[in-house]
Amino acid sequence: MILKDISDLDKSFPITIIGTGPASATLALKLEENKIPCLLLEAGGFEKRDESDIFIPNNSSQDFYRGDKGEKSYLGELHEQRIRSFGGTSNLWTGLSRPLEEYVFEKWPIKKKDLQIYYKEAAEILELKTNFDSDVFLSDQIRQVEYVYSRNMHFDKNKDKSNPVRWSEKYKERIIKSKYIHLSINSPVLRIIGNNKICNEILINKNNIEKYIPVKRLVVGCGGYENARLLLWSQKKSKTNFLQNLPIGNYFNVHPEWKTASGIARIDLLDKFFVKDIRSPVWGGTYILSPTKTFLKQNNISNIIVMIYKYDHHEKYKEFLREILCVAPEYAHKIAALAKKKITCSHVSMNTVCEQEPLKENKITLSKTKFDTYGIPRIKMEFKLQNSVRKTMATCLEEVGRLFIDNDLGRIKIQDWLYDYSKDFSKDGIADNGCHHIGSTRMGNDSKISVVDMNLKVHNTENLFVAGSSVFTTGGVANPTLTITQLSLRLANHIKQII
């Protein structure tokens, strides 16, 4: 049900949840199934999509996300990377999904099996019709991996979009009509107030009225970097030991995507070599490769995927053929001869998505000079990519290049900036995936290097939890929404046990 007036918030709820994105809404819906009442607070409203399925954000609400992304950061403008409205950033989600690999959890306090038991339920929420069991080992070093889109197994090339689950659409009516979920929109939480280990109340603003409301158990799930911002501000304003001596904001990381290589390939062999019936997220002829665990360990590199795209760019094809003539003339003549036999070759492009090592110095802090309308400091990022990311990309692409040569598929050229360490690739590399914000309230057993424990409870507190990608210990390379959903289902089960 919707709570329209600020007086409606006087009632005490077993659980109060901040945010309505995938992390928070999934948690609320699961609590509802267990008949556990909760208060769900959304800072924005019910914004809509236009006829072209383009989300139209409320600019005045989005303004609260503005901040300094960092001097040497490739990240996009912060207020363009998160959505402050009902459904959260799921309104921007493409739907691309894959579980995190088992070896990603080596530094986590939980293992993949602890999340895998929630996969079936998460898949139903996201409408994923797969068990992710179609990966194929192409060699001892490289495998072809399965990614899928929410709701549809393939990307719609003709419409240039997917059709993923939007929490704002799929669950809006259910939440509005729920007897157990009490939704208050346009109700930003300004601060969390606690006394040593206990979170007592929160300060909110509704209808331009500020109000302190009591909480029994509080879950912070307001976004990839807003979680850290709210906790940092609450930490700074606390007059007790509440939230003190915790590394809130530290270990922020991402898994950036770059265009890192291009080349020329024989289409007849390419399509035969790469398994056609592997479930792929994009139109035919796009392949996603990943190193094996053995290759990662042997080369001491991080997680990475390589996406191979085929194009009919004739000029690009001729341009690359001229380059091959200089470095591999025999192969270039071989390719040229194939055209006379009507064997088609194509230009290929390769993008890589690479895991970044969580570093303490990459962090979210509070600005000392810039504030939002409520007087809360805006975010100030201290963020830079390390050269180990560059090493990971180059090492993996070299192996993919060998795979092409050994199987006579074609030849690829890796971009020069991957080897030119005189360039600051944080700026010189043109990257994407700037909206996958990970860490900053990471999960762990040690309160010196983590903010929440294995049950997502904030260290040194008794009734404060955090949900969302900010709790990831490491980032992996898969889009985070599926893992976020699994973690929220697990949190709901934990809350059910402690109430």
150 lies in a domain?
no
Domain final residue pick, 400, 428, 456: 428
445 lies in a domain?
yes
Tell me the average pLDDT across 389-409: 93
- With a CB cutoff of 8 Å and minimum separation 6, the contacts of 456 are 443, 465, 466, 467, 471, 487, 491, 494
Residues 270 and 350 in one domain: yes
Amino acid present at 387: N
Residues 390 and 379 in one domain: no
Residues 405 and 472 in one domain: no
Q: Where residue 474 sits, what CATH number does that domain have?
A: 3.50.50.60
Residues 36 and 90 in one domain: yes
199 lies in a domain?
yes
Half-sphere exposure of 210 (CA within 13 A, CB side): 7
Query: How far is residue 243's CA from residue 436's CA, in Å, rounded to a whole number?
Result: 25
Query: In the structure, what pLDDT confidence band is assigned to residue 497 with cuts at 50, 70 and 90?
Result: very high
487 lies in a domain?
yes
Query: In the structure, what pLDDT confidence band is assigned to residue 445 with cuts at 50, 70 and 90?
Result: very high
Query: How far is residue 456's CA from residue 103's CA, in Å, rounded to a whole number?
Result: 21
Residues 90 and 217 in one domain: yes
- Give the pLDDT score at 81: 72
Residues 246 and 284 in one domain: no
Residues 43 and 184 in one domain: yes
Helix (H) or strand (E) holding 483: helix 481-498
Query: In the structure, what pLDDT confidence band is assigned to residue 117 with cuts at 50, 70 and 90?
Result: very high
Tens-place pLDDT, residues 170-188: 999 999 999 999 999 999 9
Secondary structure (3-state) at 268: helix
Of 311-325, 394-408, 434-448, minimum mean pLDDT range: 311-325
Query: How far is residue 25's CA from residue 31's CA, in Å, rounded to a whole number?
Result: 10
- Give the pLDDT score at 53: 56
Of 181-190, 243-252, 405-414, minimum mean pLDDT range: 405-414
Residues 298 and 329 in one domain: yes
Give the rounded percent of residues in the chain with a pLDDT score beyond 90.
56
326 lies in a domain?
yes
Domain final residue pick, 370, 401, 428: 428
397 lies in a domain?
yes
- Total domains present in the chain: 2
Say yes or no to pLDDT of 276 above 80: no
Secondary structure (3-state) at 347: strand
Tell me the average pLDDT across 155-173: 76
Helix (H) or strand (E) holding 198: strand 198-206
Residues 347 and 226 in one domain: no
* Rounded CA Rg of the chain: 24
CB atoms under 10 Å from CB of 239, counted, come to 7
Q: Higher pLDDT residue, 171 or 12?
A: 171
Say yes or no to pLDDT of 269 above 90: no
Query: How far is residue 163's CA from residue 156's CA, in Å, rounded to a whole number?
Result: 9
- Give the pLDDT score at 322: 58
**Which of these, 81, 151, 467, 475, lies nearest to 305 by C-alpha position?**
475
Say yes or no to pLDDT of 341 above 50: no
- Give the pLDDT score at 61: 74
**Which of these, 461, 459, 468, 455, lies nearest to 497 by C-alpha position?**
455
Q: Most confidently modeled of 52-56, 57-61, 235-239?
A: 235-239
Q: Give bridge partners of residue 448 from the DSSP assignment.
A: none
Domain final residue pick, 407, 428, 449: 428
144 lies in a domain?
no
Query: How far is residue 232's CA from residue 364's CA, in Å, rounded to a whole number?
Result: 9
Tell me the average pLDDT across 9-15: 89
Residues 195 and 331 in one domain: no
Tens-place pLDDT, residues 289-339: 999 999 999 999 999 999 998 876 555 556 666 566 555 566 555 555 555
Helix (H) or strand (E) holding 353: strand 345-354
Give the rounded percent of residues in the chain with a pLDDT score beyond 70.
84
Tell me the residue range of the domain where 411 lies. 257-302+304-354+386-428
> CA dist 423 to 200, 387, 429, Å?
50, 11, 9
Residues 350 and 371 in one domain: no
Tell me the average pLDDT across 38-43: 95
- Give the pLDDT score at 367: 94
- Give the pLDDT score at 275: 80
∠ CA 120-121-123, nearest 5°, is: 65
- Give the pLDDT score at 342: 47
46 lies in a domain?
yes
- Give the pLDDT score at 122: 97
Q: Rounded to the nearest 10 degrees, what angle do helices 119-126 and 481-498 cross at?
A: 120
Query: In the structure, what pLDDT confidence band is assigned to residue 372 with cuts at 50, 70 and 90?
Result: very high
Of 214-223, 253-262, 289-298, minimum mean pLDDT range: 253-262
Residues 268 and 376 in one domain: no
